[in-house]
Amino acid sequence: DQQVKQNSPSLSVQEGRISILNCDYTNSMFDYFLWYKKYPAEGPTFLISISSIKDKNEDGRFTVFLNKSAKHLSLHIVPSQPGDSAVYFCAASGNNAGNMLTFGGGTRLMVKP
């Protein structure tokens, strides 16, 4: 039972355009959501997070949107750069789960110059 899903295994975008990565979840107890970026042979790097009391959080080129009624979140990267090419994971945490994160399967983003 996958509680966090990223339905697009890969995404290809032209440099300078917007990248939109999507994530769906099923567990209503999740109240904190995060996005991580991962390069091969490295651990995931934290990008941005959002609490369930918000519907949007912005940090530079990265914006995360949360739609609680749809149990859906998305990460927007504007403008996309070739260095953004990596695997992106969304993750979720519940209030009673300490630091346990439930990860989606990841989306490989390729930004073409």
Partner 1 sequence: KAGVTQTPRYLIKTRGQQVTLSCSPISGHRSVSWYQQTPGQGLQFLFEYFSETQRNKGNFPGRFSGRQFSNSRSEMNVSTLELGDSALYLCASSLVQRGAHGYTFGSGTRLTVV
- Give 51: exposed, middle or buried? Use CB within 10 Å, 0-12, 13-18, 19+: exposed
Complex with partner 1: residue 80 or 86, whichever CB lies closer: 86
Alpha carbon distances (Å) from 8 to 12, 24, 59, 106, 107? 11, 11, 23, 8, 6
Shortest CB 81 distance to partner 1, Å: 22
Query: Coil, helix or strand for 82?
Result: helix
Complex with partner 1: residue 10 or 14, whichever CB lies closer: 10
Contact between 64 and partner 1 per CB under 8 A = no
Contact between 29 and partner 1 per CB under 8 A = no
CB 59 within 8 A of CB 1: no
Among 21, 77, 101, 109, indicate the residue that binds partner 1 (CB under 8 A).
101
Contact between 49 and partner 1 per CB under 8 A = yes
What residues make contact with partner 1 under the rule CB under 8 A? Answer: 32, 34, 36, 41-46, 49, 89, 91, 93, 95, 97-106
